[in-house]
Amino acid sequence: MILLSLEIIKFIFFDIKPKLSSLYEMFKDIINLVEISFNSKFSTQNITKMEYMFSGCQNLVSADLSNLNTKNVENMGYMFQNCKSLKYVNLSNFNTKNVTYMSNMFCFCSSLVSLNLSSFNTERVEKMTGMFHHCSTLESLDLSNFNTTKVDSMGGIFLGCKSLKSITQNFDGKRVNNIIIMLHFFNIS
């Protein structure tokens, strides 16, 4: 399916069973993508990589990924990077128990006001550098379920989050090499 020829892409409902192991850059830089939703028939059970999946989709407003099977995914880095119009993302059924890399996952999602990450299991994550970097309209985050005992990099995790007023978290920074950098840019007013 070629998506680039369409003027505005509002909905994409996938009803295929690909035998893919990676969704790396699958929708990267499709600037006309506005909304996307996957049904349960889009098989992602073998996927291990989702990095850059929607990176550069600057007009993407809404993404419903609640039907994706993410149990084997290890890398979600830069997944929504530069999705500047993204206001709604449903990750309610995301199984992140095998993910080790979440760096820059939401960086420059400058239209996000809220984000529900309550389904995230971060017990294996090692890299969270810039995860929310320049989410400039994000007002609050509940990261109380985040287990950061294996994380060694969190530099700039909240850099540019100028609207962030509250964070609920239980971070364990024992392994973090750049906690000072993380806290230096943590500018909650």
Buried b or exposed e, range 28-58, using 16+ CB within 10 angstroms? bebebbbbbbbeeebebeebbbbbbbbbbbb
Rounded CA-CA distance 24/79 in Å is 9
Q: Averaged over 158-167, what is the pLDDT?
A: 90
Rounded CA-CA distance 112/168 in Å is 17
Q: Averaged over 91-114, what is the pLDDT?
A: 97
If one compares 3 and 163, the residue with the highest pLDDT of the two is: 163
Please give the full DSSP string across 37-71, using - where no structure is assigned.
Answer: EE-TTS--TT--B-TTSSTT-TT--EEE-TT---T
The full set of domain ranges for the chain reads 102-189
Residue 103: pLDDT band by 50, 70, 90 thresholds?
very high
The region of weakest confidence among 13-17, 46-50, 178-182 is 178-182
Query: What pLDDT, on the 0 to 100 scale, is given for residue 167?
Result: 87
The three-class DSSP label of residue 147 is coil
If one compares 113 and 8, the residue with the highest pLDDT of the two is: 113
Residue 53: pLDDT band by 50, 70, 90 thresholds?
very high
If one compares 172 and 88, the residue with the highest pLDDT of the two is: 88
Please give the full DSSP string across 83-136, using - where no structure is assigned.
Answer: -TT--EEE-TT---TT--B-TTTTTT-TT------TT---TT--B-TTTTTT-T
Question: Is residue 131 predicted with pLDDT exceeding 90?
Answer: yes
Query: What pLDDT, on the 0 to 100 scale, is given for residue 38?
Result: 85
